[in-house]
Amino acid sequence: MPPIELVQPTGQPAVDDYLSGLIAIFELAFPGRVRAYYLAGSFATGDAVASSDIDFRAVFQGDFAPGEAEQVGRLRDSCARISAFQLDMPVRCEADYLSGAEDPLALKTASLLLFGTDIRDQLVVPPLDYYTRMITGAPYRNLARWLRRSPIIRYPLDYPDPAGEFYGYDVGGDTKQFVGAIGWAATGLLVLDAGQYVARKSAWLDLYRQHIADEWLPTLAAIYGRCRVDWAYAIPADAAGRAELRELCRQALAFENHYLERYRAYLLGLLSGADPDARGWALERLALVLYPDAEIAAAIRAAGTPAN
């Protein structure tokens, strides 16, 4: 196979060489099956730091054949194990994006076409109510699975590790998951309280500053600015830096619970609404994010499902 020439390179030789090689591997493993390859995230938007993920998207034509998605996942995992970069590559096909099962916003508005036939003009930004459901559910993954290693969380949250130097927010020895969790919670508030779409993960702080700018903004700006920008997600080695990070982590728990309070109000609204699909979705979320209070229990009973 001749070398892969990227349609829209990043301008960073090491990154572009890696992406070309990755595409070549998938082209050899799945000849004729991938419609297009894209780069999303901070490397696409030019604000990556040294430890940023490669947000790689291989969009397979149509729908997956039986067993094909599992094969793609295994190849992805093998590539990730031998990569000099951290690879973020969800297993996706055209049907996922065109049907709305997968949020197409970042792919449509904040990605680079690397190779193949561009489908971005076919993608439709989801209606705000549907987008709100998708985005407000995303912080659960970070707060529960990434930071607390639990399939469910119970409000109010406690620190992942109350006895830890950084209260357990230093998952994996860095702050990447910590910053991600705070960013997704802020993104959820942006859609709930300001009706804002957030196309790029790195845009949430600027949008929060423009559209909400509440008492949480200084804490959010410090977490993003120090953890991601100044320290590039690394744990600072000096005593002053560690003390500053510990204080930021101490403040984070209150913001996480602030988001979950707002999420609770949103889910209650869906439960009392007329849309049966929205009610069903809210019930599914309330099996993962537990609010042990009488109002939630009554709303669940009224929706036709016994309370936990």
Between CA 217 and CA 204 the distance in angstroms is: 11
CA–CA gap between residue 121 and residue 270 (Å, rounded): 32
Going by pLDDT thresholds of 50, 70 and 90, the confidence category of residue 308 is: very low
Query: In the prediction, which pLDDT does 100 show?
Result: 80
- How sure is the predictor about 204, in pLDDT bands with cuts at 50, 70 and 90? very high
Confidence of residue 307 (pLDDT cuts 50, 70, 90): very low
Q: How much is the CA Rg of the chain, to the nearest whole Å?
A: 21
At 26, which helix (H) or strand (E)? helix 13-29
pLDDT value for 305: 52
- The tens digit of pLDDT for each residue in 135-174 reads 999 999 899 989 999 999 999 999 999 999 999 999 999 9
pLDDT band at 306; cut points 50, 70, 90: very low
CA 194 to chain centre: 19
> Above pLDDT 70, what percent of the chain?
98
Contacts (Cβ under 8 Å, ≥6 apart) of 81 = none
Angstrom distances, CA of residue 262 to CA of 9, 126, 192, 298: 41, 22, 8, 18
CA distance 299 to 308: 12
**80's tokens:** 């990730």
* pLDDT number for residue 246: 98
DSSP lists the bridge partners of residue 93 as 60
E-state strands within the chain: 34-40, 54-60, 87-88, 92-93, 112-116, 153-154, 289-290
Contact yes or no for 6/16 (Cβ under 8 A): yes
CB 263 within 8 A of CB 289: yes
Residue 140: strand, helix, or coil: helix
| Residue closest to 287 by CA, chosen among 276, 296, 278 | 296
DSSP of 238-302: SHHHHHHHHHHHHHHHHHHHHHHHHHHHHHHHHHTSS-HHHHHHHHHHHTTEE--SHHHHHHHHH
Mean pLDDT of the chain: 94
Model pTM score: 0.89
List pLDDT tens digits, range 44-66.
988 888 788 999 999 999 999 99
Find the angle CA(205)-CA(262)-CA(272) to the nearest 5 degrees.
140
CB 146 within 8 A of CB 79: no
Q: 68-72, 240-244, 251-255, 297-301: lowest mean pLDDT where? A: 297-301
| Residue 87, beta-bridge partner list | 54
Q: Which of 295, 278, 216 is nearest to 252 (CA)?
A: 216
The pLDDT score that the predictor gives to residue 107 is 94
Q: Where do the domains of the chain lie, and which CATH numbers do they carry?
A: 13-122 (3.30.460.10), 128-302 (no CATH)
Compute the average pLDDT of residues 14-26.
96
Residue-wise pLDDT tens digits, 214-228? 999 999 999 999 999
> What's the mean pLDDT in 272-298?
94
